[in-house]
Each structure stands twice: as C-alpha cells, then as structure tokens.
Chain A
C-alpha cells in the first residue's frame, strides 16, 4: 500500500499546553529514550516451581501466541525474590496473592515523581508470582499446557479459523465513584463487618479467605499513598522554586487524606481516582486493557463544582486532568521495548462523557467541555480513550464541539455512543437474565461503555466484553462441506499438513440440497455447533482463572463480590455475563446471500463448482468470483431483502448465544459485535468465502458492511445497521421506548467521510444532522474516520477494493475509481490541503 509522507498533509498538533504539560507530554513520547519508564518489573516467591505471567489473558491476542513460553520464562528469569511473610504458605492462595501484590507495590517498587507532575502514582506495571504451592503449580501447568490443556485447545480453535476465546482481564468499570464517596476506609469497614457476620465454618472456608484477601487489598492504596506522601514532603523540602514547593506540599496533604478518606476537592478526587485505577492494573498484572473510568464528567462534577466555588482556576483543573492523561498513557510502558512506545493497540482505558440522565435529561456539564478541551489540546494522544454519549436531546453546543474536534483531528479523537439504542440492549439483557432489579428504566442511563464501546453497568458488572470472538463465517464453510474444514491445515512450525477431518455435525452433502431452505438448515446446525465449541473453549480458561488467578483488589470495587464472598474472576459481580462477539458478520451474511443468489436463485453455478472455486481460492473461477462480488446482493445498502437475511443471521446467532452459561462460574452468555483486529488477521487463516472474498483478504469488521459494499452512502449504511439490530418496535413497545437492540454489548461501526462534509458552517450543520439521524436510525456506537490522501492513493493502486468510494467535491459526486488519473490526483491534492 502506498502511503504519503507526513508533510503532505496537516497532522493535528497539540496546542495551548503549559510548559509543565508540554514537557511531560514530550517526555512521554521520547519512549525508550526516557530515563524513567513504567516497564514491567517481575517478582517471585523464590520457589523453583513459581509461575509468573497469566497467559490466559492473552489468548484473545493471537499475535502473542508464539511468545507465550518466552514471555513466561523471561519474567521468571528477570524476577526479583520477595521475602515472604512467615505465615505465607499457610494461607489460602487468594490471601497469598493479595499480600504479595501489596507487598511488591508498596515496599519493593520504587515511588517516583516526574518534574512538575500534579498527581502521584507512577510505576504500577508489575508481573507478580501466582503464589502457587508446588501442587498448585503442577496442576496449573497440566491444565494450561497439557496435551488437552487450554493452550492447545485455543491454538487449534484459532488455527482452524474459528476465532479465539480466553478469560481476559480488564474490561469493566470498577466502582470508582463509590470509592471517591466513601474512601477505602468505608470499603474496609464494610469488608470487616461482612467477615464478622460469617459463621465460623465460612470464616475458615473460601468465603472467609476471599474476604480476608480483600481486607488486605483494601489497605493497599492507603499504604501506597502514604509512601507517595513521604516522597512529596521530601521533594518539597528540597525544592527551590516556591510555587512548586507549594504544589508538592499540597500534594502531600492530598495524599495524607485520599484515597483512604472520601475526597472533598477536585484535586483530591482526581488523585484518588488515579491511584485507585492504577492499582487495578497492578492487581491484574495487565496494563489496562478496558479498565474503564465510566461517567467521568458526572462523578467528578460535584468535586469540580466545589473546587471552582472555592476559587480553583478552570485552567488549573485542566492542568490536573492533563497530568492524569499523561499518567494513563504510561500504561503502554509495560512492553515499551516492543517499539512504538510499546503501543500495539489502544488499551482502552475508556472515559465516558455526557449522555442521558434520569427522565430523559441531558447530563452535559461544564466539566464535559473542560475534558473535551483537554483532549483537544493534548491530541494526538491515545489514552484515556474518550467515548461521547449522544442522544436525541444532546445540546447543540456539544454537537458543535464534537464536530470541531473531528475537523481538527481529521477524524474523531473519540468514539460516539448512542444512548437510546444502547440502553435498549441493556434492558434486553436484564429481561433475559432476570436482572431487572439491577437494570431497569430508572437506572439504565447510568450504563457506560468499556474498552471501546462495550456497554456494561458500572461498579457491579464484569461481562467479559472481549472474551469470546467467534468467526460466524466458519459455519458457512462447514455447511458447504458437511462439517469439515475446506482446506487442509499446515502447521507453520512443523510444516506438517493435516487433511480435513470431520469436525462439525454431518449436515450432509450440500451438493444434494435442492432448496435454499435446506442450505439454511445446515447453516443453522453448524452455527449451533461453532457456538458450543467456543463456549467449551472458553470454559477451559475461565475455570483455570477462577481457580488460580484471583484479583482481590479489583473485587473490592465490584459490588457483589464482598457480599457473596466471591472473587470477580469467579463470577462475584452482581452482573456477570460473558460476551460472545461475532466476527465476520457482513462476510457471513454476504456469503449466504451469494450462495442463495448464485445457486438457488440464478443457477449461476452448482454447489460443487462453488466449493471447487473456494478451494482454488477463485483461481480459474474469476467470472464466478466477479458475479459473487458484484451481482449478488449485499448487506449495508439499506436493501430490505438483503437486510432481512442479515436479520435472520443476527437472530439465530443471538438466540443460540443466550442459551449458554459458563459451567465453572455461572456466567450467562450475551451477544455483541466487535472484531478488534481479528477481521484483518483471520482473513489470512480463513478460506475464500462465497461473497467473492479471496483467502488473504480482510473479513468484515464488526457490524460494518463488507469492505466496498456500502455503495449507497453513510445513511443507507447506518440504516442497515440499525435495522439488523432490531430497528424500532412496530407497536412502540421496544426495550427502551420504541428502540430494540439485539446486542447489549454494542456493535462497533465505522464510517469514513469525505472531509468536504465539514468545509463550512452549512455543511457542518448537515453533518450534525447526520449524527442526530443516527441516534434515530443507526446503531449503538460509531467511529468517524475522514478520508485521507493515503487511502485515495491506495485506491488508485487497488481500484477493485474501492469501488464504493464516492468523492464529493462541491456540487458533484463521483466514484473515485471511475475518474481519470489526472483528476484523481487533483482530488488527492484537494483533500491533502483541505481545499474543496
């Protein structure tokens, strides 16, 4: 793919930063050249059987598969021993782990402070011993690495194009709000009273152990804050600059109070929030993927108001927040030597802004704008990732700010979540799982997305939002072959090739099917099969995590865990789903549409010919491929007939998903659509598909139409998405007002716009109207990208991939690939320089 050098078009630059923040930000981006960083350090109990590195949490990251042994061994080799408590080995594992993590972060990892920083809490990325006895270690190795262990199952599943699944850390909104209100002191008191209320048998059992571990964990933040307080006092004493000296002593005062006591001021609240948050990453040994902040501008608002009333300068509030932004980005330091500042993908410490409150009221406040300004001034910067909640009553001023930021960043520096559709999904899950006492019309507006756009409730919900990623397309492949892989699998490590074996149910020789309905029936059975297979795979890692990898600190911040005496990894949260994310949705729908069109409607070929074409990766079947690609109907064009089949695929898959629960932890499955980067990577694993896609080409992303299929523009694209999610209830009896949403976890949707849509105030209003229309017709979440010169140059080289690319130069629309080279160059020139 051809790319353009940065100088050819304007890249957003940070602006309006103080000397302090400029320095911190620039320093951060020096990456490996920094003297200070937050790279993992590892810590061991010193036993010869010790295990560090919970590989299960990376089972959803195929890029790490070849590194699992190496990483595990490296952390062990580099680990520093910790002198253990004399009774350490007499405690249950959860208590050992709680003590060990606290001991390491408070007494072994150094407390440091960057110049000018207004928030304490620097190093937090650690890899700690699993604190296993020898027997536990052997059992873990057997269950994880054994012949039929979790790792082997996971590898087979991925290698054969099914997708991936694993019990993954992060991906929730801890009860940060409550913690600011009651402080760790309040949590500690609650845990003590719950422990004291246990009968003597329970005290000695699993519940007692869990509560004791949580009691230990609940003092971790206090003890660490006191260490940082000493550091601030020390730095202040040595500081020459009076202003800074004063800042440091005020920081010491903050730390002597929070996070143990409830916060009072804005500075205290942000300081407390940071320490409480970073220790989740410490506790999970995981640098923050999806550990999300929830409704940041809502729960910090009282503190902000109070401080502003007491005379805090608005700019100083931004200064504190900007330090918070720098801190959040240091999560990436965990594996900084990977290059690119250690950034492999957004970690998704998501903050939620704006959105509905009770009685349909919009909750945008001045802090919302303060935070958007911070993002605007700091951008480009990745963390924390913002998600702005829009709804039909969102104020004009918020739309203006959103559009202004999209314009200046050449694409949105945030995701947009759409409340009405999202809340309908949350109401649906409540109904499905009898949780209406926890999610109902009076509180559903308190939901918040985690990671990117995965909707959950807040402070009591761990719903495994990225844990199961299933390629729906596999069921089409199995229906075509009667339950076998289409292609033989060659192990890249050994070079050995295995011929396809019967794996799925024998749904018969598809060549004998007389009707589309027969094929659909086979697809139904194969879909049921691949979902069951994914559930079985997940059970392996879920049960191991529940047994061996407690996170007692995090459990303190998830309502339900203390009450049940159960770790969050054991399903302790009040709301504890796990989520099945469908990957390849549009490719699957389009493949089914193509099979129906080619074989049963048009008699363009037989099933045998189609299967032969797919096996040959379309080589020698170019006419058939072109027909499948260009003539068969596609999802994403607001074509009611095609979208009706898309609905069928959605319904089938959702119904099957809801049928399942984890055995070890009793977590119900719920459906979502997010494909992270799998849609690209798995395109090289999965065989050619009936929609005309060749092996090696990308699959479709989340709920988006297939690449190049949305030839009717953004409104048609959005309408299709809204429709397959359920649209509106005909009788106005939707799950939230008249809205329906099959996917409580949400659906990732990306649309690329031509930047000329924002070229003047009149067109900006048109774009805002599109977003308002999306709240009515569209999906749960939207990422807005802007067409960039690099994409247009790629379209010149690969026109076949960009036939949908409509360029809209004032007064005239043209498909980019159908205008001549010279004019194409002119369009690129205009887009490079915002000249329309």
Chain B
C-alpha cells in the first residue's frame, strides 16, 4: 500500500476508527481515536485511550473458553477462572500474542500501529459521504496532538486529498505543537472542562493554565487564518465535578473575554456512563461507576447559565439525560434543544 517512502517510517498508535460518526464535528465523519493522553480525567469515557502503552482486554461475551490465550502468553499473565480470563496487569507487557491467537477475538489488543499512508487510505474511503454531508475526518483520542509528527503528516495527506479535517483536543499540549497542526485543521474541537485550575488538576491530573492559554492562541489563530474555519468549545458536565453553575459561568466568562467572535459553538456534554464496562475490563475501579446520568433540568439550567455569559445562540447541550419516570414524556431536552441552537 505504501507509496510515499518518506512517510513509511512514521507510525501512530491508534485505538479505533469509527466510520459514519455523527458526533465528532459537522456532517458524517470518520473518527480516529489516538491512544495516549496528556490528561487523565477521572470521568473519561474512553479510559483505554489514556495510556500510551498497548493494553489487553478480555470481552467475556465473545469468549468460547478455549484457553488458547492462557497457554500462549509468554509472561504467564493470564489465568482461566470461573469468571473468565483474569489478566494480571503487573505481568502483562502488552505484547498482544494472546490477541493474535485468540480464535474468537475475545482477547483484544488496544492500540495498533498504523503506517500513516495506510491510515490515510483507510480514512478517505467515505469521501462520498463526507462530501454530501459537509463532513470529514476527525482526529480524536486520547490526545491526537501528542503524536504530533504522525498527526501533521496524516493531516497533510488528508488535506492533499481534499478531505475536511477536524482535531478534537484537550488543549494540554505545547503551543508549538498546536501551532504546527493548526494549518492543516479545518475545525478545532476544544475542551474546556473546569475553570478553576486547582479543581482541574484534581479532576484531570493537570492544571488548566496551558489549556486556557492555548485556547486564546487558537482563537487568535482563527481570526487571522481563514483556513481554520470553526472553533467549537466542549464542556463535559460531570455530576459532582464540573456540573456547577460557577464552573459554567467561569468558562463562559472566559470565552466571552478571550475567545469572543471566534467560537461558533459551545456544547455542554452530559456525563455518559456507557463506558462502565470498559473500566471493568481494564481492571480499573471507576469512581463514577454508580453515578447516575445528569437530569435534563440540570442540563437546561446550566445551558441558561451558559447563555447568560456568551452569545446565546452558540450554546447547546448534548448527550443522554436521566430517563424520566413519566412514561408520557416522550421527548428529551435533547430533541427540543440541539439543532435549534446550532447556527
């Protein structure tokens, strides 16, 4: 497949490629999830994307119980028990031999090496759908920008092929790296999670100084570079963490003061618990395992707070709110809300 010799040696660690994604930017998209992140958000719904290292997971519903993985593992890190395969993570070095030998794909290696040109070829397959929808390719993660050389080469090739690109970033990257990527990005999806740096550090493992500075840099970049067509801010609404009025107001004030005019959309993303089993599979205790979804009324209130701080039309919220008990209440706020507030 590789035609471009110069790109041959550049490899990236990719977790997953999702085709026909409807959630990672405008239109229909192919989203590439990079492995490895510069933050470690306690609520992360892609916990397998945080570590750079390849990891093994076992999917019980797929397993036929043949035990081939156990006998294959050179590190003796796997054990067959009544509950299924137990992975001793202190012994597992992520070599992936068990996943290679598993007949049922119950053992899965998270994180695969991709040659940049091969990846680009894979990503352009839905060009027809991109063109009909105003969509394209989104680099997400993890934090894609951490694999910056790979990202630049990939983005360049995608742009050469006329593909619209989006970068979904947490902002915790050096400004130099961000500056090197932005020329090849059409849409920047940028997370602002928590306005108080101490809390930010507590929730994500890092303060927010760099993130806020990069946000200002990106907004200014957009004002002077028409190649960057849109900047979307995303704020996760996490119960007991980021779901406070002060936080939303603080982020709103920050946007208003520093990013004014550059932000096309500010999306409040409701906490998601569908990843609960991912934590189980990775053998991680998750502090949000028993947290319920956010109530619709909370999302609506926070949206009002958000709207009071910035141009109201840029605010919307997304995600699943807690199911209401009343059966006759057929529509969620989602249906009424999003779409209308998106310019």
Chain A positions near chain B (C-beta within 8 angstroms)? 622-624, 626-627, 629-631, 638, 712-716, 719, 757, 759-763, 765-766, 769-770, 772-773, 776-777, 799-800, 803, 808-814, 817-820, 823, 826-827, 829-830, 833-836
Contacts and interface: CB of A to CB of B under 8 A. Distances in A.
Contact of B45 (A713, A765, A812): A812
Interface stretch (B154-162, B221-229, B328-336): B328-336
Given A713-B19, A719-B126, A762-B338, A773 B28 contact: yes
B18 A713 contact: yes
Interface string B91-131: 00000000000011100000000000000000001101101
Contacts of B334: 759-760, 810, 836
A761 B104 CA distance: 40
Interface string B134-146: 1100000000000
Contacts of B21: 813
A136 B73 CA distance: 76
Contacts of B213: none
Given A623-B66, A762-B339, A836-B332, A810 B320 contact: yes
Summarize A's interface: helix, strand, loop or mixed. Answer: helix
Interface stretch (B75-83, B171-179, B270-278, B307-315): B270-278
B61 interface: yes
Given A760-B338, A762-B342, A810 B318 contact: yes
B299 to A, nearest CB: 12
Interface string B152-189: 00000000000000000000000000000000000000
A803 B319 contact: no
B282 interface: no
Nearest to A813: B18
A818 B108 CA distance: 12
Contacts of A776: 128, 132
A752 B5 CA distance: 41
A817 B60 CA distance: 10
Between B19, B21, B134, the greatest number of chain A beta carbons within 10 A of the residue's beta carbon is seen for B19
B320 A830 contact: yes
A835 B280 CA distance: 27
Contact of A715 (B126, B269, B280, B342): B126
A518 B303 CA distance: 66
Given A773-B128, A811-B319, A835-B331, 8 more contacts: A623-B64, A630-B62, A760-B338, A766-B135, A773-B132, A814-B275, A820-B276, A836-B334
A353 B182 CA distance: 47
Contacts of B20: 713-716, 770
Nearest to A762: B339
Nearest to B23: A811
B68 interface: yes
A811 B272 contact: yes
B203 to A, nearest CB: 19
A812 B272 contact: yes
Nearest to B1: A640
B197 interface: no
A512 B318 CA distance: 60
Given A769-B132, A810-B320, A759 B66 contact: no
Nearest to A823: B274
A728 to B, nearest CB: 10
Nearest to A718: B129
Given A626-B103, A811-B318, A770 B274 contact: no
Nearest to A802: B61
A766 B277 contact: no
Contacts of A715: 19-20, 28, 125-126, 129
Contacts of B62: 630, 799-800, 803, 817
Nearest to A772: B132
Contact of B335 (A630, A759, A799): A759
Given A622-B64, A762-B338, A811 B128 contact: no
Given A760-B334, A773-B28, A627 B103 contact: yes
Nearest to B18: A813
A773 B133 contact: yes
Contacts of A629: 104
B28 A769 contact: yes
Given A626-B64, A835-B330, A760 B335 contact: yes
B22 interface: yes
A630 B125 contact: no
Nearest to A631: B103
Given A712-B19, A769-B132, A773-B132, A833 B276 contact: no
B50 interface: no
Contacts of B342: 762
9 contacts: A626-B66, A757-B22, A766-B28, A770-B133, A799-B61, A810-B318, A826-B323, A835-B330, A836-B320
B40 interface: no
A624 B66 CA distance: 11
Contacts of B103: 623-624, 626-627, 630-631
A775 to B, nearest CB: 9
Nearest to B334: A836
B250 interface: no
Q: Which of B23, B270, B319 counts the most A-chain CB atoms under 10 A from its CB? A: B23
Contacts of B105: 630-631
B1 to A, nearest CB: 9
B298 interface: no
B328 to A, nearest CB: 10
A830 B339 CA distance: 20
Contacts of A713: 18-20
Contacts of A833: 327, 330
Contacts of A777: 128-129
B284 to A, nearest CB: 15
Contact of B129 (A769, A808, A823): A769
Given A623-B103, A834-B330, A716 B277 contact: no
B239 interface: no
Across chains A and B, which 6 residue pairs bring their CB atoms closest together, nearest first? A769-B133, A773-B129, A626-B103, A772-B132, A760-B339, A627-B103
A610 to B, nearest CB: 14
B70 interface: no
A818 B273 CA distance: 13
Nearest to A820: B277
B108 to A, nearest CB: 10
A274 B104 CA distance: 56
B27 interface: yes
Contacts of B64: 622-623, 626
B163 to A, nearest CB: 14
Contacts of A814: 274-275
Contacts of A762: 338-339, 342
Contact of B68 (A623, A714, A719, A799): A623
B304 interface: no
Given A626-B104, A760-B338, A799-B61, A809 B128 contact: no
B59 interface: yes
Interface in B180-209: none
Contacts of B270: 810
A716 B27 contact: no
B263 to A, nearest CB: 18
Contact of B61 (A627, A631, A766, A817): A817
A776 B319 CA distance: 32
A831 to B, nearest CB: 12
A105 B4 CA distance: 75
A817 B105 CA distance: 14
Interface in B290-328: 318-320, 323-324, 327
Nearest to B121: A640
A719 B125 CA distance: 8
Q: Which of B27, B68, B129 has the most chain A CB atoms closer than 10 A to its own CB?
A: B129
Given A766-B27, A769-B132, A836-B332, A716 B19 contact: yes
Interface in B22-71: 22-23, 27-28, 45, 59, 61-62, 64, 66, 68
A763 B26 CA distance: 10
A836 B270 CA distance: 12
